[in-house]
Structures are given as C-alpha cells and as structure tokens.
Chain A
C-alpha cells in the first residue's frame, strides 16, 4: 500500500479522536486501520527533521504493534536527543527563546491549561512546534499506554488516543465535585508548601517554559501525582540549598488526610451497613447513614479516579470483579461477627441456653482424662496366670500372718523326764547310793551283787520296719486290712467291672482268656512231663536194648557152645 496523502492521515487522526473510549476495548479493524494511517502520517511529518533514519516511511502493512513501535522508536530516539541538546542550549541562553517565543507561546499556553490537555493544532503550528508537540504526544502515548489497562496493542500505539482518552476521562469523571485541573493545582500548591516556595516558582516557570523537561525525565511513572513527585525530585537540590525550614516543619507536622483528599463528610468509609440488622433504633440513624453512604460514595468518586473510570460502564474487569467479591465476603463476615454467637461457640452452655435436642445433632468430642477400661483378652489372662504360677512355685503369698499374742504368763518349763519304767527297784537304788558314799571300790556285798555283774545286756526288740509305720497311731479296732492303702489292696488299672456287670461278650472273652492261660500252663506242664518221660523211656529202652543184646549174646554163646 502506498503512502496515504496528508489529508487521509489527518482524516484518520480526527476519526481516532472522535471515537468513544469503550470502543477501544474491543478490537476493531476500522480503528486499527485508521490508527495505522494516522501513525504513518505522523511519521511522515517527523521524518524530515531526522537526518538519518533507516525508514523513509512507516511500514504498517502486516506488521504487528511491536514492529511499528520499534520503527517509531528508531526515528524518535535521535530526535529526542537533539531536542534535549537544544533545550539545554536555550536554558543557558534564554535570549534565544525570545526568538522562538511567538511559536512557543502558543504551545506554552496550551501546556498551562493542563499537563496532558494539549490540543492538536498541527496544521497551524510550525514544524518545530509541531515536532515538539508531536514528540510530546509520542512520549505521552508511551506513558498513557502504560497507564491504562488497555489490552489492545493495535489500537493504542500512538496518535491522539491519549489525548482523546484524557478528554474522555475528564468527560467521565469530572462532575460538579471533581475537576482534574483543580486537583492538580491543589496538589502542586500542597507540594510547594511542603517543599518550599522557591520550588513552586521554579515549577510554574518550568511549566510555562516547556513541558518537555518533565516528560523527558518521566520514564516510568503512572498518573499525574507521580509526575508531580518527579518534579520534586528534580528540585531536591533546590530544597536543600534554600528551603524554608520553618515552613517545612510546620507544614509537615500539620499535614493531614483532609489536606490531601478533602474533608470526609461525617464518617469513615469502612462503616458497617446497619440497615437490616438494627430494628428500632435505626430509623433516624438509617437516614443519617444513608446520607453518609451517599456522601461516602461521593468521596469515593472524588478520591478514586482510576477505579471509577472502570466502574461507570457496566462491564467490569477481572480485578474489579475480584474486589467486589472480596468486599461482599467481608460484608458477610462482618455481619456474622455482629450476630450473637451460636450456642456451640458460647463456652459453658446449659440445657436452658440452647435449643431443644440440639446436643444430639452436634458431634461432641471430648478429651477423656481417664484411662479406658481394660479389655480382658487371652493375653491378659495368660499373663495373670503366669504371675500366679510363679508365685505358687516360689511359695510367696501375701497372706496375713498371725501376730504372736503377748503371753499372759511365762511358759511352764518342762524338764525331760524318762518315762520308761526303771529296772532297778528302789532298794537297789538306795544300796548303790550307800555304796558310793562309803566306798566306791567295795566288793560285792552279796551273791546277788555278783550275779548282777554277770548280767548280760538288755534285749530290746528291734523291728526292721520303716519309722513311719512305727509311729502310725491307729486305733486297736482297725484291722490290718483297713490299714492298708487302697493301692495295696488292689492295684488294678482301668475300668474294673464285677462279674455281674459283664456283658455276654465280655464273659466269653474272659473265659477264652482264662482258657488260653490255662492251656498255656498245661502245655508247659505237659511239655515238661513229656520231656521227663522221654528221658525215662530212653533210659528204659537203653536198658532193654542192653538186656536184649546180652540175651542175644547168651543165646549165641549157647549156640556156639552147642556147636562146638
């Protein structure tokens, strides 16, 4: 596409200027076209002032925003530098400005109206003025694009969008309470007061001179206030050099919210909305509060520029939606905090203080401070039995022991007395005593004494019976049979039945057993008998044989004898 004519370019610029701000939010092909045309036109008008530039014209066909931007940047960077040099030069030689004064005065007037409220009278201004202002515009564009939350790149590259937006903005937010210009002036006054009067003079001077300084030094801020602050930063040196210290102290000490944001009308913003909760005592209060609410709204409007821009139209950005959500939640929570607490949160609650059967529905959880009842399992029983067995084996029990009672009288002393009947008669005892007294080695007095010497020792019957048996004390009437232990009476094993109890088979079995036994014995006997008989017979036969043999021999002898 060829370079469009100047008229077309101006036409495009005007179109951009005249579009409504909401239209910028949605991407639109016509707007983008006109934006491109406008930027091309502007580029063309600037091109002659730059000595060397790679582009002769702005290439917009099928280029995206970033590339167009880069082209503009390439053009304007050297331009900006040269302008700076010139301004510095003029600073030193203010006389030269006079020469330019007629042209600059127009621009200055416009600047005085407002930082960004520069009208575009491109046709009327000189190229230099044009150049300056266009540069300003471009720089403004840069900042304004960053400023606004626009999503389109195509529509907001450059051009008069910023100015138009500003106009729109001012059209949108300004009402009988808020005037942006007033606000700015107010802010400047405050800051002048804050930092010293010199600064203010300097500021105003600078403003009238050229706005370029401010713009050039502003690279990254957003909003008007920031620009003001940057001015202050510029003038820092001045502050320290010649500030009014006394004024400063006073002013800094007395600076208040109202100074910056205007007087609050009757109440602070985060006020609980009592409309619904308060029943009786809110009738008059309600109206007051409604007034306050409305005034709060007004205050909001006055104070929050940026947000209100987006509130006015029905469509909200995501940020705004989130903010609204959070606000509603906050309201809910505040409302809940003001209600009386539920009974579960009230600490000690008796039945009278809570609704009926409400404790049944709540899941009550107590920390039990007592140990739970032990469950008696197999292992527990086992362990108990182990302990018991151990104690039994050791024989260690915890019985009470009978305390030895205090004896009432001393125990009788028992001397060991021999209970057997004495062998000696009393006379003999006296005899011996007499003998001992008189003559221990005396001869026997009588024959009986001699006899006594020959006495053999006593015979005591010693039975070879176990001691227990000897000591067993049984009454005489008990027979020997009864003294025997049962095992000794009968040592049988198992189920012993009497004859009457036996069944037929049992009887037969017994009989058979008996017979077998008997037979076994008999056979043994027979065997032994037989053995003996055999022997006998053998002996007999032996003798018989011998007899027969001898008989034969005799006969033979006889016969032989006969024959002979």
Chain B
C-alpha cells in the first residue's frame, strides 16, 4: 500500500513535470497550424522543428490536440465514488470548537468526526488512507472561535488552507425552534464567482467534498466568492407560490473563508510543493483578485 502510493505519487509528479514541455510543444504546433492556415511564413524560431511538428499535427485528432492538464488529476476517480470525510480538530479543542465540528459533521454528508486526543497528523493520515477516506478536514481555533480549516484530499491530493472569519455557529443562535433541524439530504452546490484558474482549482477542491445529489433535493450549500473572501451559506428552500417564487430558510453555520495556501501533497508532507500561497506584503495585493472577479 505504501509503495503503491509512493509510486502513484511519483508518476503524478513526473507527468506534471512533463506538462511544461507538453505545453510548449502544443504552443508551437498551434503557431505552425495558424501560419499554414493563413498562408503566412512560419516564424523563424520554429523552422527547425517545423517538419516533425507538422507530421504530428496531421496525426492528431480532437482529443489529443489539446494537452491534458494534470493539475486535477487527483480528482479523476473522485466522481466514481462518494466522498468519505474525516473531521477533526487541533489538539486540546475548546468546547465551542467541538460544537462547531459537530455541526460541520452534519453539513458534510458522509462525514465522520473523531477526537484528536494526542495523535500526530501523519498517524491520522495513514489511518485514513487505509480506511479509504477521500478527505480529511482539520479545524483550528483561537480562544473558542474557529479560525482555520485545512482540507486535505487523500491519497496524495492537494491540501487547501483556509482562514475562517465571521463565524456564526448554530449553537450561537438561541432560538432552537426557529432554526429547526438540519436536513441531511445530499445538497445542491452553488459556487459563485470562481473565474480564474486558481478559482477553478479551489472550486474543484470544494466540490469534491460532496456526493452526487438527487436533482430534487431542497438543500443548498453556497460558496460565494467576493474579492477573495468565500462566503459559506447553508439554506433549505421551498417553492410555495409557484415555479418562480422561492423561499429560503437559512440553517447551519455561516462563515467567510479566505484561502491562503494550496500545497500539492497531503497535510503531513511538509516538503510538498506549494501550488499557490498568499502574498500580503506585495504592493499590488490590494488591487489584485486571485480567485474571482
């Protein structure tokens, strides 16, 4: 099992390393194809490779023409199985944090919560791999207020680090009757304004935490991005007056998430490559939006 995983990971990294070269070849082929089509002379830097590339262009068809991106390779098999999530906290969690994690357990279908105790991260990840979990979510806190969430995809998938802000848990709302019980059906997902490449990647990571829902389910989970802050909302809707009128009822916790790192290995692999990390000290950070519009 261990060696298999290591081999798979190495293959994945190798294919990823080839991606750069592949992309370059693809670009050159495209340029040559354009030049041939328009009848313009081929650019001088491509003259040497022109012959073989032209042969390859002729042999290509739709599927092989565009180079396959290996970034989301980790999720290639995710659609065949329902995800299985493990939820846990940092060490010595406070009572509010434990309550929050319990709520999250209900939010994510197919989720299991365990006490952290004194376990080391690598132990947890190993046991998850052997029990065929697909994701591990770790929640951190600051004096009772949850402030961090780490979503790690197994077996060797990406790890996304989020900071949580403006957390409102169900336990905070005193009126139990008003909020009702939480529906546990497989929810529909709304991922709004994830337009950039990084946004697509984040959307992928969040999407694959949930199983395929029934089309008529009434439960909605929303991840809405606004200037790099992702708002999480949990609603249940009713179509009472007709097809066009929708009544929303909010249940479940609400918080803002802020992505600050994506690593290309699991949580325990500290030497893993960083796909993206936030740079708050950069002068143009204020002007740029990394996840969406």
- A interface list, Cβ under 8 A from B: 369-371, 373-376, 380, 384-385, 387-389, 391-393, 397-403, 405
Contacts and interface: CB of A to CB of B under 8 A. Distances in A.
Contacts of B165: 373
A370 B286 contact: yes
Contact of A388 (B80, B211, B222, B239): B222
B17 to A, nearest CB: 26
Contacts of B212: 399-402
A388 B191 CA distance: 10
Contacts of A403: 79-80
A393 B239 CA distance: 9
Contact of B213 (A385, A389, A399): A399
Contact of B210 (A370, A375, A400): A400
12 contacts: A371-B227, A374-B227, A374-B229, A375-B166, A376-B231, A376-B254, A388-B220, A391-B190, A393-B243, A397-B190, A398-B190, A399-B189
B15 interface: no
A323 to B, nearest CB: 48
Contacts of B190: 387-388, 391, 397-398
5 closest A-B pairs by beta carbon, nearest first, are A403-B79, A397-B188, A398-B191, A370-B280, A389-B246
A389 B243 CA distance: 12
Nearest to A395: B215
Contacts of A393: 243-244, 246
Contacts of B78: 400
A401 B79 CA distance: 7
A392 B166 contact: no
Contact of A398 (B166, B207, B248, B256): B207
A384 B231 contact: yes
Interface string B263-293: 0000000000000000011110110000000
B237 A392 contact: yes
B135 interface: no
- Which of B190, B224, B227, B281 gathers the greatest number of chain A CB atoms within 10 Å? B190
Given A388-B190, A405-B80, 9 more contacts: A374-B227, A376-B254, A388-B222, A388-B237, A389-B237, A392-B246, A397-B189, A400-B78, A402-B79
B112 interface: no
A369 B283 CA distance: 6
A392 B224 CA distance: 14
B148 to A, nearest CB: 15
B208 interface: yes
A398 B248 CA distance: 18
B292 to A, nearest CB: 13
A2 to B, nearest CB: 93
Contacts of A371: 227-228, 286
Contacts of A387: 190, 192, 222, 224
Nearest to A387: B192
A384 B239 CA distance: 18
Contacts of B188: 397, 399
Contacts of B211: 400
Contacts of B79: 400-403
B233 interface: yes
A369 B233 contact: no
B248 A388 contact: yes
Nearest to A402: B212
Contacts of A385: 235, 248
Contacts of B207: 398-400
B80 A392 contact: no
A369 B246 contact: no
Contacts of B90: none
Interface string B222-254: 101011110101010101000110101000001
B185 interface: no
A384 B232 CA distance: 10
A374 B256 contact: yes
A391 to B, nearest CB: 5
Contacts of A373: 165-166, 229, 256
A376 B255 CA distance: 10
Contacts of A405: 80
B71 interface: no
A118 to B, nearest CB: 78
B222 A384 contact: yes
B106 interface: no
B98 interface: no
A369 B235 contact: no
B128 interface: no
A384 B166 contact: no
B215 to A, nearest CB: 8
A398 B213 CA distance: 11
Contacts of A369: 280-283, 285-286
B203 interface: yes
